[in-house]
Structure 1
Amino acid sequence: MSSSPSTTQSTPAQLKRVRARSIWEGAMRARHQVRKFAAFETAEPVPVGGDDSSPSPMEYVVAALGGCLAVVAETVAAEQELGLTALEIDTQATMDTRGFLGTADVSPHFREVVVRARFGLSDPSALPALQREVERRCPAFNLVKDAGVPVTLDWSVTGGPR
């Protein structure tokens, strides 16, 4: 159940810090450590000078958006007792690489994002309300949206798990 705006404003902030340590390894690569988890790497594709040995940082951003949407959808579906049985999210973002390369005065971040989500739900008619609440509560979705990036959501209900 969502809080009313007056309740939200009168409740003290519950702040959470999210941290990562990143160490540059040369050749467009970096190693990252988050909490107790195994370190992971980012790299750039060969056309921009990397060795294509790992996903790029922006590919991790796209994956993080899909992961965040999945977590929030699971949370909201459980709260609303919607019987979530499956969820697949495909996220695609478009960037103008001239911004990163410095060859044009364009933003280096995403120009648009398309999220295709397929839900297995016991009550398919609940999808619009679920989507509205997930959009409202997903930190990564709101970060991208608040950056002014157009986000297209293509959400539908499938027959269930495969």
Structure 2
Amino acid sequence: MSPCSSVPEAAESVSRFTERPALQSSKTLRAAGVWTGAQQTRLNVRHFEFTADEPHKVGGRDQGPTPMEYLAGAVNSCITVVIDQLAARQQLTLEDLQTYTLASQDTRGLAGTADVQPYAHAYRLQIAITTPERDEHTLRQFAARAEHICPAINLLRDANTGLKVVWSFTEQPTAEAAERLSNAAVGYTEEHDAPKPFLTVTNADLAASVSA
């Protein structure tokens, strides 16, 4: 049974979609958390148990990723699932798929020392795909559709995180491709250390909406 008896009005900011959510098509997500002291939480989701923690320097025990690190990992895995499913539906061959997140969070928000948004204010999601497909229109449309239906990307986009989604399509798989592309893009490493994509698309869904 759904925890909601009715579907709420869609937020005005969500204008990229032409239909409202339907209760009969909705599923319920559940997660249980138990505080285990020193900022640590033991979490249970279905039959999985895992720990969220904080580093020693802020009073945690450093026995698991932080909640925001789990969020970053969830975004990576969410778009991976979407790409995998969409590629199967559209018969797009995937030879390699990697993702990497770089996000900036003003720690003063959580600390309560400044009235700033406590979550990420800059967020870069790098997606590196190796595929034999070379038609640029096909790949741009694929990227736009994947962004449009990805729950995590849409959450970030509507939360004022400054989300930038960068798609890099490469001819050959490369170890740590997404990480190397990200680090080169922000100046952490030299550009020659990163793979050379044959196509790069940024914020594909937004670009498609503008051109439509």
TM over 0.5: yes
Whether 1:108 and 2:110 are equivalent positions in the alignment is no
Whether 1:140 and 2:152 are equivalent positions in the alignment is yes
Say which of 103, 106, 110 aligns to 1:96: 106
Q: Which has the higher contact order (CA 8 A, sep 6+)?
A: 1
> Quick check: 1:114–1:153 contact (8 Å CA) kept in 2?
yes
Say which of 78, 84, 93 aligns to 1:83: 93
The one-letter amino acid paired with 1:119 is I
| Corresponding position of 1:32 | 43
Offset, 1:13 = 4.5
Q: Secondary structure at the match of 2:92?
A: coil
> Quick check: 1:135–1:141 contact (8 Å CA) kept in 2?
yes
The one-letter amino acid paired with 1:14 is S
Q: CA RMSD in A?
A: 1.9
Runs of 4+ in 1 over 2 A off after TM superposition: 8-13, 124-127, 159-162
> Quick check: 1:28–1:50 contact (8 Å CA) kept in 2?
yes
| Corresponding position of 2:78 | 68
Which structure has more strand as a fraction of its residues?
1
Identity %: 37
Offset, 1:158 = 1.8
TM-score, structure 1 length as denominator? 0.89
Indicate how the Cα distance of structure 1 residues 10 and 96 shifts in structure 2: closer, same or farther if over 3 A, else same. Answer: closer
Offset, 1:47 = 2.4
Indicate how the Cα distance of structure 1 residues 27 and 10 shifts in structure 2: closer, same or farther if over 3 A, else same. Answer: closer
Deviating more after overlay: 75-84 vs 8-17: 8-17
The one-letter amino acid paired with 2:148 is R
The one-letter amino acid paired with 2:57 is P
Q: Which runs of 5+ in 2 are unaligned?
A: 1-16, 175-212
Residues 4-52 of structure 1, C-alpha deviation per residue, up to 9 Å, x if partnerless?
94xx569774111111000000011110000022x10010112221121
